[in-house]
Structures are given as C-alpha cells and as structure tokens.
Structure 1
Amino acid sequence: MIGIPSAVAAATTYYVSPTGSDSAAGTKSAPWATMAHAQDIAKAGDTVYFRGGTYAYTHANSDCSSQTAKVDAITLSKSGSSGSPIRYWAYPGEKPVFDFSGVSDDCRIKGFDVTASYVHLKGLGVTGVPQNNDLNHESWGIYVAGSDNTFEQLDLHDNMGPGLFIQKGGGNLVLNSDSHDNYDPYSSSGAGSNADGFGAHIAAGYSGNMFQGCRSWWNSDDGFDLINAKSSVTIDHSWSWRNGYVPETTTASGNGAGFKAGGYGGDYETGGAKHTVRFSVAFANRSAGFYTNHHTVANDYFNNTSYGNHPDFNMLGVDSNGDAVGLGKLRNNVAYTGTLTSNMSGTDSAYNTWNLGITLSDGQFQSVSTSGWDAARLSDGSLPVLTKLRPAANSDLIDAGTDVGLPYNGSAPDLGAFETG
C-alpha cells in the first residue's frame, strides 16, 4: 500500500471564536480565542477556522520603543511549507472581523505583520488600524515581509494607512480581495497622503508578487501603489475607482491615481523593474487612471480600460539623468472621457483606442455606469460579472486589438479589460 505523506497525514483542523478560550481544546465545540494561540499550535498543512464575529484588539504585542517605532497587534512568524501552508481561514459562510480601532500604542501600528512564508489568510476582515500620533506617515492593515503567502477574499477597510502593503518577499498572491475607505488623517506628510488600497514597495530580488481580482476604492491616496518597487509586480483583472478623496466625499486628499505603477523618487540610476498591469479598470479617480509615476523602465499596460480619469493614461517616466520621458508599452487599451492621455511621446503605443482612431461613445459599451462596482463577489470570491464598460454587441472594440500572448476569443483580442464571448 502506498503510504500517505506525513505532512498530509498529520494535518489537523482547529477552530477559533470570539467567545472561545485559549485553554480549550481548539475543536469546533471548544474553540480557542486568539490567533496568537492558534499560531503556537498550528503547523504546516493545518487549517485554523475563525468563526464569525469581531476579534477586538486594544494593544500591540510589544511596547513602543519610541513614538516612531513599529509595533504589531498580530505577528504571523511561523511558516508553513511548499504545498502545505498554514491556513487561517474564515469558517465557511461566516465573517470574522479583526478590529484594531482600540489599539492605543503611541507609535506606528501594523494590524497584521506577516513575516512568515507559506501562510494563507482567507475570508478575514481587517479594520480600524489607527494612527495615535502625527509623527509618522501611516499605519498598516496587513504588512507583508514574508514570501509565498496567499491573501484571499480579504475585506480591508477604514484603516489609517494602506489596507495591505508588501514591503519585501516574493511569490505573494493577493487574490480576490477588497481594500476601501482607508484614510490617514494624521500623516506627517499631510492628511490622506499615504492610505493606499494596496501597496507594494518591494526591494530588489523578490519576484513573483501579484494582485489578482482585487478592488480598491475610496482610499485617500492611490488605489494601487508600486512606488519604489524594485522587483516586478503584476496587477491582473483588478478595479480601482474614486481614490484620492476623503472617503465617501468629494474632498480632495492624496495623489488619487488608480494604478500607480512604479517610480523611484530621486533614484534614477539604479535600474528598475518592469511591472505589468493587465485586464484592469480605472474610473473616476482624482488623478490618473494608469500612471507611470517617474518610472525608469517601460512597463507593460495590456487590455485595460480607463474611464473619466485625469488623465486616463499618464506615461510620465524618467531617464537616467532624471529627465522626463514617456515610458510604457501599451496595447489593446481603452481611454474614454476625462483627459485621454499625457506624456505619450517616446512610448511604444499601438492598437489602443487613441491609436486606431476609434470614435468612442456611450453606445460602444453595454453601460457606462460608475455605480455598483462594489457589488457582492461571486461564491468563489471572484469579481462580479457586470455590464459596465463591457463592449456592446456591435462595438468597434471587439476584435480590434493585437495578440500580446494573453488569452482571447474571436479573430483578435478585444480592446479594454473585458473580452466578449
């Protein structure tokens, strides 16, 4: 008889509940109370289910050494292994919410600090991470420094800083997650200037990080921000809207780009990493829908739709002297209303609506509504199927693109984020 691998045979399922006790057995009928205790016990291949309800935190797990130090409310430092991650999952059909609004430590706060590798968070809510002084740029909902982790079906909102931020590590997948209504009112660089939906400011040497099927809206700074990321990042099938405002208002706040795909500040001479943004949608952001942000290399922008941004595509890059140049390879993109493009001189731009001379109108789309994009996700966590900004039946966008090595139907790719058929 073929033996069962020991890692599989030894896998155990545990349970945590807001009404549990860490002195209990960790079973469904006798759950634990905290993630910290679950991490002490769980090992590679195990699953820890969190029952619905609120897990409220009032303090970090270490003291602030200064007002500018960083502390964690939850530190995930125990790693799983390849093929056998440690899973911290919402119990099916229930929503556990980790609420950090009561944390009073007087320094920078991470709700979750994930230094481990091969862990999988799924179905959790993360909210309320505060700023308790005005000496720092931001706090963070989830701060990632490990590799090969999966962050799936997370709801990250009302944090005083980015919902999820990757500082280093490779092979991390942020899948089918939402980040919204994040605002940093006490930022030392100005109110609202650092609360992105998702951020990845990764050092060199960490490849394979991806955001897939994610949504970002009503964040005070940018929807997705890759500034200072010196390892390649892919953003795939994701949506970003109404960023750059105090959440749920029209009061201007931070930068307000939908997808800020790179940039290095004043560091123009150390090379750069090529990022890819594909099959994604930006609309009604305060500034650019898709923005190169003084990047040093040409990113790939394939099959994206930008509607009503200012501008829709801004390809402002820099050369090794810090001089402004247009940078980017753009194929099969749609720009409609708002200001269509800027800083395109020098880019590799072809088979986009502005290159092909396609006359766009509302009738080219099934709908141009900017409401309802936060609709409930499908049962597997994937994006809802909406008519908005999809090509109409006889649209000139259908089969008007060029093959860039990505899947398509018909004789050629459609233009924009949504492929018909």
Structure 2
Amino acid sequence: MKNTLSALLFLPFAAAPAFATNYYVAPGGSDNAAGTQAAPWASIARAQTRAQAGDTVYFRGGKYAYTAGVEACASRTAIVNAITLDKSGAAGQPIRYWAYPGETPVFDFSAMKDDCRVKGFNVTASWVHLKGLEVTGAPQQPGNRLNHESWGVWNSGSNNVFELLNLHHNMGPGLFIQNGGNNLVLNSDSHHNYDPYTSNGAGQSADGFGAHIKANQPGNVFRGCRAWMNTDDGFDLINAFSPVTIENSWAWQHGYLPGTTTPLAAGNGNGIKAGGYGGAYVANGVKHTVRFSVAFANKAAGFYANHHPLALDFFNNTAFGNGANYNMLGIAPDGSAVNFGNLRNNLAYKGTATSNTAGLDMPNNSWTLPVQISDGDFEDVSASGWDAPRQADGSLPPLRSYHLRSTSDLIGKGVNVGLPFNGSAPDLGAFEAAR
C-alpha cells in the first residue's frame, strides 16, 4: 500500500470556533480601563476576570515584569505562582491568551525575590490557548539550596494548547505538564534553561520540556517543538503514567553550561528522555512514542529509554553526534538491567550508534541494514542553523541538514509502521525525501 505525505499527517487539535469578544492588555495599561484596544488593561489577572469561553485576550508587545508571587512563601520549600490561570473555556471555545499579531509580549519573572520555588504561569484551567508569548526568568534564590527547580510554565489542566511559546533562561524547565490530558504543545521553543541552585546539583532539573503525567490522562502531544542548550534534558517523560507523543521535534546540546561545551556533572544531557520511573520497576508503566524527530550533540544519549519497564516506540528519527545516538536501557521486574525498544526506520550517524540494544527486534534501521552512510547521503550535514527563525506559519525552519539526497541508499529502506511515506517504502530518518 502506498501512503503519501501530501495527506494530512496528523489531525488538527480542535476545530476553530467563532470568535466572541476581544480584549487587550499592554505594558502601561490600566486595570481600571475598559480592556479595549484604545484603553487596554495592564495585567493578565485582570483580563482573566472578564474573559469568557470563546474570548480572546491580545497582549501588546513589551515587557510584563513580575516582582512577587500572588501568594507569599509558606516556607522556604513552598511554591508560589506569579500568574495563575484557573478559569476554563469550553470545548470548541477556549479562552485565548494571544500575542497581538506582529508583536512579542515578554513575561519576565527574573525580578521575583520569593524565597521558595516559583511557577511563572500556573495553568490549572482547561480549554485555554496560549500563543506567541515569551516566558523568561522563573527564578531560584541563590541563598536557598533546599529545593529543586522552578518552572516557566506549569500545566495541570486538560485540553490546553501552548503554541509558539519562547521559553528561555528559566531556572528550571521551560514548560512542564504535571497533569491533565489532551494538551498540545505546538511549535514552541525552550532553551538556555539552567537551575544553578538545585539541591542535588546545578543543572539537574532544567529540562526544555517535561511531562510527568498521572495515570488516565492520555493524549498529550509535543509537536514541532525545539529544545536546545538546557542543562538537563531536552524532553523528559520520566514518571509519566499516561502515554505521551513527541513528534517532528528537535533537541540538541543538552547537559552543558548553556552557550558553552562545558559539561555539568549533574546535568543528564539527553536529547529526548522518553520514559522511566526514577530507575525503579513499575508494573503499570505506559508506552510513549517518539517519531520524525532529531537529536544531536547531546552530552549523553540522543534518544533514551531511561530504564523504562517496557518497549517504547521510536520511529523515523535521526540522531547524530550524541554520546550514544540511541540508548535503550530498560529495567526488568527484579530491577536488573534489560534492553527494551521498538525501533524502526531510524538513522544514526557519527558518534556511537547505539547502546543497550543487543537482542532487540529492530529491523530497518541504519545500523541493522547493509547500507553505508557518509556525508554524501545528505544535502547538508551542518549542526548550525537549527535555531533559525520559524516560518511564517510557526513551523520549523526549512533546513536541508540531514535531508536525504535523491541518490542516497537510505531512501526506501524503511518498513511501513502505519505512518505516511512517499514511494513504495519509507525512508530512514526524520525527513522523508520527495519522489
């Protein structure tokens, strides 16, 4: 059977409803104003009191600076929130918190002095849509080493969309899904996050994106996202008890002091850490899926199973120049190490191709086929430019790095796993060549 990439690869998150009322927030606005474009409010908190399901709140460009949480630290190990979104929209009628077209609103939490952990955005609501916002500076305090990370955005609601967010220089993960189902993180970037004051070591907890979801909360997806130069991992699914999908996403240069090649002892340094439960065996672990994604130049693994108790699905991914490109270390019921993973149509180049893959059923990967790989298989092999500006529609930049040349013998060497492809069989790697 022939599939084609000209068809829709994935269904849209939700049908777009008719818009209701538009409101406006701007630096220098007033919460006593009308919330119109001519008389904007000053804060997202004021906007939330008025917005109803189906409404859109537009944020004008500029800095929205926060100096304290909405509540005081109950102790030095407590958590405070700079912004809490707890008012839900409805199915087909989310409440939208969007950047005004062509402008960049920056939510800056770096001036907060709360002597405990901080959530920049605490999203407990469901059916909300954040789009085009920049989130930075969620702090730790240098005199307090009793805690782990803070967070740029923390979510525990369901059916939310986090689109075109730029999450950076937070002292902890850029975006973290603690709970909730059917959330979509779309075309968002998380980079240069570093937690220098974490109690178990500098850099231990600053992931680009995290999802540690409880059971019975399926449907969470990271799509078209990029994570780079975070001190821990790019994407981290440790302790997730509901299935998560990571697709069409890129992760590079993790485990180092941001902006350098200086490794951090406590930073794990994986591109996509796709599972695990803290190194312990659990009987109710779930299967996650990673597909059409790229990981490179990470201190540890590009794609990592992280002691997961069952086989995860890794389909059509590209890894190059990692400590190990694919590490399928699993865990058996007795706690012993075992290899787990369903690997199909993956490509590994430069660095160590795999570790902990002995005995796995993994046909149609570049290291299990009689193919030779060289720079000549690709249109480009550059490790730079992956952080280039996104396209006008928010999609990933149109790089040619690690796209297959028409003469490559990696074309058509994959196996049908139920995903779209061109020609008679899928190609190897994250980028399907045109036919």
Q: TM-score, normalised by structure 2?
A: 0.94
Answer with 395-404 or 51-60: which moved more. Answer: 395-404
- Do structure 1's residue 299 and structure 2's residue 312 form an aligned pair? yes
2:397 is aligned, of 384, 391, 395, to 384
In the alignment, the residues of structure 2 paired with residue 347 and residue 162 of structure 1 have an alpha-carbon distance, to the nearest angstrom, of: 33
Q: Which residue of 1 aligns with 2:278?
A: 265
Number of residue pairs matched by the alignment? 414
- Do structure 1's residue 195 and structure 2's residue 206 form an aligned pair? yes
Q: Which residue of 2 aligns with 1:58?
A: 67
1:347 is aligned, of 352, 357, 360, to 360
1:10 to partner: Cα distance: 8.4
- Do structure 1's residue 182 and structure 2's residue 193 form an aligned pair? yes
Distance 1:202 1:10, change over 3 A: closer
Aligned AA for 1:228?
N
In the alignment, the residues of structure 1 paired with residue 185 and residue 136 of structure 2 have an alpha-carbon distance, to the nearest angstrom, of: 17
Q: Deviations over 1:153-183 (max 9, x none)?
A: 0000000000000001100000000000000
Aligned AA for 1:100?
F
Contact 2:279 2:307 in 1 (8 A): no
In the alignment, the residues of structure 1 paired with residue 370 and residue 152 of structure 2 have an alpha-carbon distance, to the nearest angstrom, of: 44
Contact 1:172 1:209 in 2 (8 A): yes
Contact 1:327 1:346 in 2 (8 A): no
Give the secondary-structure state (helix, strand or coil) at the position aligned to 1:296: coil
Give the secondary-structure state (helix, strand or coil) at the position aligned to 1:88: strand
Give the secondary-structure state (helix, strand or coil) at the position aligned to 1:40: helix
1:9 to partner: Cα distance: 7.8
Contact 1:325 1:345 in 2 (8 A): no
1:372 to partner: Cα distance: 0.5
- Do structure 1's residue 360 and structure 2's residue 373 form an aligned pair? yes
- Do structure 1's residue 94 and structure 2's residue 103 form an aligned pair? yes
Contact 1:57 1:102 in 2 (8 A): yes
1:211 is aligned, of 222, 226, 243, to 222
Q: Which residue of 1 aligns with 2:118?
A: 109
Q: Which residue of 1 aligns with 2:174?
A: 163
In the alignment, the residues of structure 2 paired with residue 306 and residue 348 of structure 1 have an alpha-carbon distance, to the nearest angstrom, of: 19
Gaps of at least 5 residues in structure 1 are: 1-7
In the alignment, the residues of structure 1 paired with residue 278 and residue 234 of structure 2 have an alpha-carbon distance, to the nearest angstrom, of: 19
Matched-pair identity in %: 66
Q: Which residue of 2 aligns with 1:72?
A: 81
- Do structure 1's residue 315 and structure 2's residue 328 form an aligned pair? yes
1:128 is aligned, of 134, 137, 141, to 137
Contact 1:290 1:313 in 2 (8 A): yes
Contact 1:181 1:248 in 2 (8 A): yes
In the alignment, the residues of structure 2 paired with residue 111 and residue 233 of structure 1 have an alpha-carbon distance, to the nearest angstrom, of: 24
In the alignment, the residues of structure 2 paired with residue 200 and residue 288 of structure 1 have an alpha-carbon distance, to the nearest angstrom, of: 19
- Do structure 1's residue 13 and structure 2's residue 22 form an aligned pair? yes
1:247 is aligned, of 258, 266, 285, to 258
Aligned AA for 1:252?
P
Q: Deviations over 1:139-158 (max 9, x none)?
A: 00000111110000000000
Aligned AA for 2:349?
Y
In the alignment, the residues of structure 2 paired with residue 81 and residue 348 of structure 1 have an alpha-carbon distance, to the nearest angstrom, of: 44
Give the secondary-structure state (helix, strand or coil) at the position aligned to 2:420: coil
In the alignment, the residues of structure 2 paired with residue 331 and residue 67 of structure 1 have an alpha-carbon distance, to the nearest angstrom, of: 47
In the alignment, the residues of structure 1 paired with residue 257 and residue 374 of structure 2 have an alpha-carbon distance, to the nearest angstrom, of: 31
Give the secondary-structure state (helix, strand or coil) at the position aligned to 1:289: strand
Structure 1 vs Structure 2 CA RMSD: 1.0
Contact 2:18 2:54 in 1 (8 A): no
Distance 1:97 1:9, change over 3 A: closer
1:345 to partner: Cα distance: 2.1
In the alignment, the residues of structure 2 paired with residue 419 and residue 251 of structure 1 have an alpha-carbon distance, to the nearest angstrom, of: 34
Aligned AA for 1:122?
K
In the alignment, the residues of structure 1 paired with residue 394 and residue 86 of structure 2 have an alpha-carbon distance, to the nearest angstrom, of: 27
Aligned AA for 1:81?
A
In the alignment, the residues of structure 1 paired with residue 261 and residue 398 of structure 2 have an alpha-carbon distance, to the nearest angstrom, of: 27
1:203 to partner: Cα distance: 1.1
- Do structure 1's residue 119 and structure 2's residue 132 form an aligned pair? no
Contact 2:329 2:339 in 1 (8 A): yes
Give the secondary-structure state (helix, strand or coil) at the position aligned to 1:309: coil
Contact 1:14 1:27 in 2 (8 A): yes
Q: Which residue of 2 aligns with 1:46?
A: 55
In the alignment, the residues of structure 1 paired with residue 181 and residue 37 of structure 2 have an alpha-carbon distance, to the nearest angstrom, of: 34
Contact 1:326 1:345 in 2 (8 A): yes
Q: Give runs of aligned pairs for residues 211-230 of structure 1, distance below 5 A.
A: 211-230=222-241
Q: Which residue of 2 aligns with 1:280?
A: 293
Q: Deviations over 1:84-118 (max 9, x none)?
A: 00000000000000000001100000000000000
Q: Which residue of 2 aligns with 1:5?
A: none
1:266 to partner: Cα distance: 4.5
In the alignment, the residues of structure 2 paired with residue 248 and residue 301 of structure 1 have an alpha-carbon distance, to the nearest angstrom, of: 29
Answer with 344-353 or 114-123: which moved more. Answer: 344-353
Contact 1:302 1:333 in 2 (8 A): yes
Q: TM-score, normalised by structure 1?
A: 0.97
In the alignment, the residues of structure 1 paired with residue 301 and residue 180 of structure 2 have an alpha-carbon distance, to the nearest angstrom, of: 28
Distance 1:10 1:124, change over 3 A: closer
1:346 to partner: Cα distance: 3.6
In the alignment, the residues of structure 2 paired with residue 333 and residue 198 of structure 1 have an alpha-carbon distance, to the nearest angstrom, of: 22
In the alignment, the residues of structure 2 paired with residue 88 and residue 290 of structure 1 have an alpha-carbon distance, to the nearest angstrom, of: 33
Distance 1:399 1:9, change over 3 A: closer
Give the secondary-structure state (helix, strand or coil) at the position aligned to 1:356: coil
Aligned AA for 1:332?
N
